[in-house]
Amino acid sequence: MKVLTVGGAMIDTIAIIENSAIERMSLLNAGTSYLLLEDGRKTEAIDISMHCGGGAVNTAISFARLGFDCATLIKIGDDRRGEQILASLAEERISAQWVLRDGRAPTGSSVLVSSHDRNAGVFTFRGANTLLEPEDIDDRAFAVDLVYIANLSNEAARCFPLLVEKARAAQARVAVNPGTRQLHAHSAAFKTALSEISILSLNRHEAEDVLSLLDRDVPADDDALPFPGELRLPRLATRGLNANGRTISVRAFFRALTGEGVGSVVLTDGKDGAFAASNGRMIYCPAVEVEVAGTAGAGDAFGSTFAAYIALGAAPDFALRAAANNAASVLGFIDTRSGLLARGELDGRLAEARAPPHVIGWPL
């Protein structure tokens, strides 16, 4: 099958810091943590390394390793970082036919500072990623089975409706993983395109941004989900989603989005696992336990793997398990690509008799 990924391309510089070398402050009520860097002080690192990343590149590598004929539509600068991106694509046999080079800005880059629980703080320079324009988008690029649109940066997000339109005109399935900035700055364009989205992948924070776009008369659904006693009740099943003073259940959120015409919805919540809705059914999959080396790229692995298996005709339950296992593999590495599994290896893991995780479901 053929797939086109669209979105960002970055060079990630990852610094791993010993816990004792950097302070962490946690806000219990807000549920957030901060790494504290002292002004004017040099902090020793365990390691500093550079890697190719960005939503479109990460997902392209994921699809390629899962056996798809893959191309990517990205914009990079006319610089050495851009050459690194092209070399990475070539190594994975990903077509660079639709890669655009623009001398007006450097290739995007990020600096990740990782310590304590390895959930890195990220400094991002979006660079050429912001320069994607309608005239850059060639109809021929969309002659594929699946178009996966990752987070679009700044002005490039204005192209989102056009990308969806061209994909649907080519009769390609459309999978989307928007970012928070895109949802805030271009909310109207995103909401208008909902009925054309085949697969929508969101984390909890992105889901709450999407909730703020939905009509306020969406029923909250206070019915408790029956949960097997051997499974720990995930937080989202009890707290629901919150935005602008309103709270609704995960099931109500899924009902609202599928009612808008979205085919399948995936909602991830880190170590608390993931929910999905498809074909009138809601399912839950616990996270695969793994020693975390880095969290970067896990969301891209999850969303692309779910979309890949759905495109290949797998049942949503199987696709969700595959996504959980591939994301867990990525968590075992500091970068976004080293842990991405080949199709045979991932299928082998899923075929094991007692392979976790086990999916449960309810009528939507």
Give the pLDDT confidence of 294-352 residue by residue, as tens digits.
Answer: 899 999 999 999 999 999 999 999 999 999 999 999 999 999 999 999 999 999 999 88
**pLDDT higher than threshold 90 for residue 233:** no
Residue 36 domain-assigned (yes or no)? no
User: What pLDDT was estimated at residue 31?
Assistant: 64
Q: Which domain holds residue 265?
A: 2-19+45-363
Q: How would residue 356 be classed by pLDDT, with cut points 50, 70 and 90?
A: low
The residue among 218 and 338 whose pLDDT is bigger is 338
Give the pLDDT confidence of 54-66 residue by residue, as tens digits.
Answer: 999 999 999 999 9
Identify the CATH number of the domain in which residue 212 sits. 3.40.1190.20
**How many independent structural domains does the chain possess?**
1
**pLDDT higher than threshold 60 for residue 353:** no
Mean pLDDT, to the nearest integer, of 190-197?
A: 94
Residue 264 domain-assigned (yes or no)? yes
Mean pLDDT, to the nearest integer, of 7-30?
A: 85
**pLDDT higher than threshold 80 for residue 151:** yes
**pLDDT higher than threshold 80 for residue 215:** yes
Residue 341 domain-assigned (yes or no)? yes
Q: How would residue 207 be classed by pLDDT, with cut points 50, 70 and 90?
A: very high
User: What pLDDT was estimated at residue 22?
Assistant: 83
**pLDDT higher than threshold 80 for residue 30:** no
Residue 147 domain-assigned (yes or no)? yes
Residue 223 domain-assigned (yes or no)? yes
**pLDDT higher than threshold 80 for residue 180:** yes
User: What pLDDT was estimated at residue 122?
Assistant: 87
Q: How would residue 21 be classed by pLDDT, with cut points 50, 70 and 90?
A: confident
Give the pLDDT confidence of 72-131 residue by residue, as tens digits.
Answer: 999 999 999 999 999 999 999 999 999 999 999 999 999 999 876 777 788 999 999 999
Task: Give the Cα separation of 357 and 359 in Å (integer).
Answer: 7
Residue 39 domain-assigned (yes or no)? no
Residue 328 domain-assigned (yes or no)? yes
User: What pLDDT was estimated at residue 125?
Assistant: 95
User: What pLDDT was estimated at residue 222?
Assistant: 66
pTM for the structure as a whole: 0.94
Residue 271 domain-assigned (yes or no)? yes
SS3 sequence of the chain: CEEEEECCCEEEEEEECCHHHCEEEEECCCCEEEEECCCCCCCCCCEEEEEEECHHHHHHHHHHHCCCEEEEECEEECCHHHHHHHHHHHHCCCECCCCEEECCCCCEEEEEEECCCCCCEEEEECHHHHHCCHHHCCHHHHCCCEEEECCCCHHHHHHHHHHHHHHHHCCCEEEECCCHHHHHHCHHHHHHCHHHCCEEEEEHHHHHHHHCCCCCCCCCCCCCCCCCCCCCCCHHHHHCEEECCEEECHHHHHHHHHHCCCCEEEEECHHHCEEEEECCEEEEECCCCCCCCCCCCHHHHHHHHHHHHHHCCCCHHHHHHHHHHHHHHHHCCCCCCCCCCCHHHHHHHHHCCCCCCCCEEEEC
**pLDDT higher than threshold 90 for residue 67:** yes
User: What pLDDT was estimated at residue 29?
Assistant: 66
User: What pLDDT was estimated at residue 115?
Assistant: 78
